[in-house]
Amino acid sequence: MKRLAPWDVAYAADMMLACWLSYAAATWAFVQFADKTDDLLGGMWAVIATIFVFRETRVHSWSAALDRLLATVVSFALCLAYLLAFRSTPLAIGLLVGIGTVVMMLLNRRDNVIVTGITITVVLVSAAISRENPWLQPVLRLVDTLIGVVVGLSCKWIASYVFSRAAGEPVH
């Protein structure tokens, strides 16, 4: 078993803090106007976005954040357009995942196909669960993602800077 370096411990502690902050921020943001299911789902989705952007280096975190945001924006656009006209069905999930895949391929972002598909699936299943205003789900999941990305990047960048300065090492 490998011994953990001080940076490994700092990284894990920082991720723990970032996930907690993302969940707290997302659930607090929606408690006034979203039902309990949307509130909890928002917290979970913000934490997932935080985990997704939490990479070993600041450059990799920034790149992951841009990937996550692009996949979310494509999913948001497709799901919102669909849900304004139709209700969520299993066929809709397949259809929009397929369209999202083509869009990401056209954008030359094949690595983002998976995240786009996952996001479309979460949004459409959330819309199926939330019978009232299903079109609101893409908007809520976009905000959740933004919260998670901002919190994740902020915590990662601050901890990397502080740790590197204290250890006299290059910034991670």
Confidence band (pLDDT; 50, 70, 90) for 122?
very high
**Gap between the Cα atoms of 27 and 169, Å rounded:** 37
Look at residue 105 and tell me whether its pLDDT is greater than 60: yes
Tally of helices (H runs) and strands (E runs) in the chain: 6, 0
Q: Which of 37-46, 68-77, 101-110, 142-151 has the lowest mean pLDDT?
A: 37-46
Does residue 43 register a pLDDT over 70? yes
Residue 97, pLDDT above cutoff 90: yes
What is the pLDDT, as a whole number, of residue 6?
A: 85
Contact 165, 126 (CB under 8 A): no
Which residue type does 15 have?
M
Q: Is-contact 78 96, C-beta < 8 A?
A: yes
Q: Are 96 and 129 in contact (CB under 8 A)?
A: no
What is the reported pLDDT for 18? 97
More confident residue, 79 or 168: 79
Going by pLDDT thresholds of 50, 70 and 90, the confidence category of residue 171 is low
Q: What's residue 167's pLDDT?
A: 67
